[in-house]
Chains A and B, each alone.
Chain A
């Protein structure tokens, strides 16, 4: 008898719950949000809870896809006239193609007032180069610099170098101590582009060259550029043995397991390295130039943005969510939760290493050249540079050859070079 009564109560409760759920969901607007950040799913669910608490009546469903398949899935959906309401957008060329095709809603400062605060260079990664219209709220910037293991530096009595020669000498000292100086490898071409971002700007003359080459006042056959590629080769003796077989995860493991003392890498490594080895003490410095005060550039690029599908049925609600993503409150949550530098201005990372990276970038930033300037069409600058660097580090091409390959590929579509 007791059991049956209990059952009845349970059933009534269940019924009430079902009715309750049905009645709330009928009034709610559900926004879908597609992304390639499968690893950040917990964090995004947290962010969304905060938004939902502030905006009753709107729910957001975060749906991440595999990184390497995201572009294809998204493009196919958009071409078919569907897709999500909120779109996690790649930066620069990856974003521009979607905007050109008319799949994205333009974001104006009238609708998203916080856009006015964003750095103009950062916003470029979420704009159409041709029209200047903005299509996304940037979420993260990344910086490229030297990450080093403080414990190893202390043990060997080393200090952050001021000049390139000091840097090379420091590498030699570490090597003599039986530790790999730089964890950087070359099996995956893109890790060599990261190395390029950390080293080359200090030898091609930073923003003087990058501005000139992006404007088309010079091109990649410029001697400064060739010289900077040659300088990269001076690091080869300090990279791991058989470094051409060292892939990205190998680099992370080597550095995290304290087999290597330094790694030229992006700010996005911080979280991974600390997860792989919670005891590691990270330090950062920019690659120095030839004389004190020269060089010291940190390569910066915008990582991506949040945009709205042009054919969404819930424009109002989407704009509410996008405005939320542009707030300092969100930026702070983002950087604290994911250990990545937020693109929202004024956000101070609580993580000391990230804070230092941002401080260095504020001092002397330069665009991560190919990512920022030359990824808008094919053959894109990154692809040619990555393959070229692999050949250069394998002694198959000289720096002059690599520069010639880049120039020949880019002149096909980069209008400023065609003048």
Chain B
């Protein structure tokens, strides 16, 4: 009996460091922001219990509701485009790399390199490249006779968000490619060889042998991409600031939250709205949590079927 208790104590002692760190830095802030979202704030002053008023404002009161829907749409766009790029182009590159032979390692490094750069570096690099006056992108387009394609990429409401999504993909792609590559290398060669012997074309082999076996990997990468893209903030903040400039065309949940909770520094030190900001954070958490759990469940079910 006593030995059982002491063993339990030892288990707990091993768990304690991680548990304490997790509680202090993850659980506590999460719960406190949940708490803040039910409190009415007047600038820096706490006024009292607000019930669901902060949520009502964010969800149903203009301009907040309009901004929330706009930001959510942009997050969805961000995720869908990134997903499309990584499961077509990214997967293609990964498959090519498996056939790469000696060049494999080199190209693997080349594709992975941008992922090791910090988002701040990537943001500044592309800000310079995309600058309409000094940037290389418009200069290059002019050089090859496509001058009518030049535009203020980050200042044009039509192109600002797609440009940022592409810049993000440039940095991010190394990650899915590497994971796909690992997944592809885990597929036994015999399966593909057997299909080839049975007279399948390379496309049929890929479509009916390789791809089904890769689905769990693609599923997990997609879930990670979803979480990452719905938390998108750094790159947009660096390239466009927190105001969703121009005219909220690059506003995502992250920037909307930041601007609301901490105030927009570009408008000269306005005061944040802690209650509303917390409500947005809670909504973000709910969306990401529910969709991710559903996604994991979906991937698991796929695995069982196979």
Q: Distance in Å from the Cβ of B59 to the closest Cβ of chain A?
A: 16
Contact across chains for A242 and B151 when beta carbons are under 8 A apart: yes
**CB-contact partner of A387 in B133, B247, B263, under 8 A:** B247
Contact with B along A227-251 (1 / 0, CB 8 A): 0000000000000111111100010
Say if the beta carbon of A375 comes within 8 Å of chain B: yes
Cα separation A91 to B268 with both chains bound (whole Å)? 8
Asked if B45 contacts A101 (CB within 8 A), the reply is yes
A259 to B271, CA, bound (A): 38
B265:A71 contact, CB within 8 angstroms = yes
**What separation, in Å, do the CA atoms of A98 and B45 have in the docked complex?**
9
- Whether B181 is near chain A, meaning CB under 8 Å from some CB there, is no
Cβ contact within 8 Å between B268 and A382:
yes
Nearest CB of chain B from residue A255's CB, rounded to whole Å: 12
Per-residue CB contact flags for chain B residues 49-75 toward chain A (1 = under 8 Å, else 0) read 000000000000011000000000000
Asked if A380 is an interface residue, CB under 8 A from chain B, the answer is yes
Q: Which of chain B's residues have a CB closer than 8 A to the CB of A384?
A: 63
Among A68, A375, A388, chain B packs the most CB atoms within 10 A around the CB of: A68
17 A–B contacts from the bound complex (CB under 8 Å) = A68-B265, A70-B269, A94-B269, A94-B271, A97-B44, A103-B44, A243-B152, A243-B155, A245-B153, A379-B63, A380-B270, A386-B243, A387-B245, A391-B157, A394-B157, A408-B62, A409-B63
User: Which residues of A have CB within 8 Å of B43?
Assistant: 97, 100-101
Residues of A within 8 A of B77 (CB): none
A332 in the interface, Cβ–Cβ < 8 Å? no
Interface secondary structure of B, over-half rule: loop
Flag if B247 contacts A378 (CB, 8 Å).
no
Interface string of B231-255 (1 = CB under 8 A from A): 0000000000101111110000000
Q: Cβ of B192 < 8 Å from any Cβ of A? A: no
Interface status of A265 (Cβ within 8 A of chain B): no
A380 to chain B, nearest CB (A): 5
A391 to B70 Cα, complex, angstroms: 15
Q: In the bound complex, what is the Cα–Cα distance between A397 and B43 (angstroms)?
A: 31
User: CB of A181 within 8 A of chain B?
Assistant: no
Q: Looking at the complex, which one of A93, A394, A405 makes contact with B156 (CB distance below 8 Å)?
A: A394
A90 at the B interface (CB under 8 A):
yes
What is the bound-complex CA distance between A72 and B154, given in angstroms?
28
Q: In this assembly, does A396 line the interface, its C-beta being within 8 Å of a C-beta of chain B?
A: yes
CB of A327 within 8 Å of the partner chain: no
Is the beta-carbon distance between A75 and B44 smaller than 8 angstroms? yes
Give the chain B neighbours of A75 by CB distance below 8 A.
44, 271-272
Residue of B nearest to A395 (CB): B157
Interface residues of A in 24-83 (CB under 8 A from B): 67-68, 70-72, 75, 78-79
* Chain A residues whose C-beta falls within 8 Å of the C-beta of B269 in the assembled complex: 70-71, 90, 93-94
B254-275 interface mask toward A, CB cutoff 8 Å, 1 = contact, 0 = none?
0000001011111111111100
Contacts A186-B155, A387-B247 given; does A100 touch B45 at CB 8 Å: yes
Identify which of residues 201-222 in chain B touch chain A, using a CB-to-CB cut-off of 8 Å.
none
Given contacts A97-B44, A189-B245, contact A371 B268 (CB under 8 A): yes
CB of A390 within 8 A of CB of B247, answer: yes
Asked whether any CB of chain A lies closer than 8 Å to the CB of B161, the reply is no
Q: Which one of B153, B247, B272 has the highest number of Cβ atoms from chain A below 10 Å of its Cβ?
A: B247
Q: Which of chain A's residues has its CB closest to B276's CB?
A: A378
Interface mask (A242-286 → B, CB under 8 Å = 1, otherwise 0): 111110001000100001000000000000000000000000000
Known: A68-B265, A186-B155. A254 touches B133 (CB 8 A): yes
Pair A383/B132 contact, Cβ less than 8 Å = no
Most buried by A among B44, B133, B134: B133
Is A383 in contact with B243, judged by CB distance below 8 angstroms?
A: yes
Docked pose: A391 CA to B160 CA in angstroms: 13
For residue A315, CB closer than 8 A to chain B, the reply is no
Query: How many B residues are at the interface, by size bracket?
Result: 35 or more
Which residues of A does B touch, CB under 8 Å?
67-68, 70-72, 75, 78-79, 90-94, 97-98, 100-101, 103, 185-190, 240-246, 250, 254, 259, 371, 375, 378-380, 382-384, 386-388, 390-391, 394, 396-397, 405, 408-409
A396 touches B157 (CB 8 A): yes
In the bound complex, do residue A394 and residue B262 qualify as a contact, i.e. CB atoms below 8 Å apart?
A: no
A245–B266 touching, CB < 8 Å = no
Q: Which of A103, A245, A396, A408 is in CB contact (< 8 Å) with B132?
A: A245
Q: Among the listed B134, B262, B265, B267, which residue makes an inter-chain contact with A380, where contact means beta carbons less than 8 Å apart?
A: B267
* Nearest residue, chain A, Cβ from B158: A394
Question: How many angstroms from the CA of A405 to the CA of B66 in the assembled complex?
Answer: 12
Which of B42, B62, B243, B273 is the one whose CB lies under 8 Å from A189?
B243
In the complex the two chains form, is B243's CB within 8 Å of A387's CB?
yes
Tell me whether B133 and A250 are in contact (CB under 8 A).
Answer: yes
Question: Does B184 interact with chain A (Cβ within 8 Å)?
Answer: no
Mark contacts of B135-159 with chain A using CB atoms, 8 A cut-off: 1 yes-contact digit, 0 otherwise.
0001000000000001111111100
Q: Which residue of A is nearest B152, CB measured?
A: A245
Q: Which residues of A lie under 8 Å from residue B247 when comparing CB positions?
A: 387-388, 390-391, 394, 396-397
Q: Tell whether A187 pairs with B270 under 8 Å between CB atoms, given A101-B43, A242-B155, A245-B154.
A: no
Of the candidates B44, B152, B248, B262, the one whose C-beta lies within 8 Å of that of A98 is B44
Q: How far is the CA of A70 from the CA of B271 in the complex (A)?
A: 12
In Å, the complex CA distance between A55 and B14 comes to 58
B150 interface neighbour in A68, A242, A382, Cβ under 8 Å: A242
Q: Is B155 in contact with A187, judged by CB distance below 8 angstroms?
A: yes
Do A383 and B246 touch (CB < 8 A)? no
Known: A378-B273, A408-B62. A387 touches B248 (CB 8 A): yes
Which residues of A are found within 8 Å of B292, using beta-carbon distances? none
Instruction: Determine the residue in chain A with the shortest Cβ distance to B266.
Output: A190
CA distance A240 to B155 in the complex (A): 13
CA distance A90 to B44 in the complex (A): 15
A241 to B151: give the CA distance in the assembly, Å.
Answer: 9
